[in-house]
Amino acid sequence: MSQTVQAGRLGRVRDREVTVVSPWIVVPALLPVIVFSVYPLLQGIYLGFTDAQSGAVGSAEFNGLDNYLQLLHSPHFWDSFRVGAVWGFGVTVLQFFASLGLALLLNADLRFRWLARTLAIAPWAMPPVVVGYTWRLVYAENGLLNSTLSAVGIDTGNTGWLSSDFWALPAVIVVGVWAGMPQTTVVLLAGLQSVPHELKEAAMLDGAGPLRVFAAVTWPHLRAIALAIATLDFIWIFNSFGLVYVLTAGGPGGSTRLPMLFAYSEAFTYGNYGVGAAIGNVLTIITAVVVIAFLALSFRGDKR
């Protein structure tokens, strides 16, 4: 009996020894992350505290908070942040509701639903450069938008939508919503398909209409997914660069100059690498604070 118990203990010990994994096995996976993500991030943070400039002789010197004090008194920075806030929140909110409506439509039992889903995610396959140049043609003075409006009796005076101080930002926001809808729609559609159909049927048998079913059954199951995708969308949109750069390059007159475009111009147009890196550091902190506050408020509402 004792030999059997001892043999069983030895077997369990051997099993534990087999399942022990050396921590060094994760080094090959962490090495690319450290080299291509962590090191450039730390280098960028340090660069924001230096006077690095293009063509400067010698290495950059540490200048403390001088770059940040310069931004604090720069009206161009605050104006770019205002534009970025309108762009970020505008695109995020409009894109979410448009994607939610499209996801509800694609989740319905319709004919040729597979074709509709394919067409809905088509913009996702287009690079931002292609999207930008395509919409530049749409917004041109003799482009598709003005031609369509003229055909229905609306005289626009051949407005150059992207060259107008008033219309440039709304026009860019429309493109941002159109370009970002596919991934948000796919995520929300996956969330809708995870809602138990039995709960919907039970609610309808109790006399609940479509809006009541959505509020009482669908939305509670979809809320966590909606929160996650809205937060990610805001991070991506607020820090976006390529699409707006192709459309307007920040013009006209800075009306679409997002913070990342301002950082780009400071670093690569005027050669102020330290200031450009400082802008990136500020944007990282602002984005983190907004996201943390948003998540905190949302989780507090869930607890209630």
For every residue of the chain, DSSP letters joined together read -HHHHHHHHHHHHHHHHHH---GGGGHHHHHHHIIIIIHHHHHHHHHTTB---TT-SS---B-TTHHHHHHHT-HHHHHHHHHHHHHHHHHHHHHHHHHHHHHHHHHS--TTHHHHHHHHTGGGGS-HHHHHHHHHHHHSTTSHHHHHHHHTT----S--GGG-TTTHHHHHHHHHHHHHHHHHHHHHHHHHHTS-HHHHHHHHHTT--HHHHIIIIIHHHHHHHHHHHHHHHHHHHHT--HHHHHHTTT-STTTT--HHHHHHIIIIIS--HHHHHHHHHHHHHHHHHHHHHHHHHHHHHHH-
Residue-level pLDDT at 57? 55
5 within a domain of the structure (yes/no): no
Residue-level pLDDT at 136? 93
The CATH number of the domain holding residue 288 is 1.10.3720.10
> Which whole-number Å values give the CA distances from 257 to 204, 214, 246, 250, in the listed order?
49, 39, 12, 4
Residue-level pLDDT at 93? 95
180 within a domain of the structure (yes/no): yes
CA atoms within 13 Å, Cβ hemisphere of 292:
6
Residue-level pLDDT at 92? 94
49 within a domain of the structure (yes/no): no
Question: What residues make up the domain containing 160?
Answer: 75-303
User: For each of the chain's 304 residues, which pLDDT tens digit applies?
Assistant: 455 545 455 455 444 444 555 667 766 777 777 777 788 888 888 999 998 887 665 677 888 899 999 999 999 999 999 999 999 999 999 999 999 998 988 888 777 777 777 777 777 788 888 999 999 999 998 888 998 988 888 887 778 899 988 999 999 999 999 999 988 999 999 898 888 888 888 888 877 788 888 888 888 888 888 888 988 898 889 888 889 999 999 988 889 999 999 999 999 888 899 999 999 999 888 878 877 877 787 766 555 5
HEC profile for 188-223?
A: HHHHHHCCCHHHHHHHHHCCCCHHHHHHHHHHHHHH
The total domain count for the chain is: 1
Residue-level pLDDT at 61? 85
Residue 241: Cβ within 10 Å count: 14
CB 241 within 8 A of CB 260: yes
Residue-level pLDDT at 21? 54
176 within a domain of the structure (yes/no): yes
- pTM, to two decimals: 0.82
Helix 273-303 to helix 39-47 angle (10° resolution) is 120
50 within a domain of the structure (yes/no): no
Residue-level pLDDT at 73? 92
Residue-level pLDDT at 31? 78
226 within a domain of the structure (yes/no): yes
23 within a domain of the structure (yes/no): no
Residue-level pLDDT at 67? 92
30 within a domain of the structure (yes/no): no
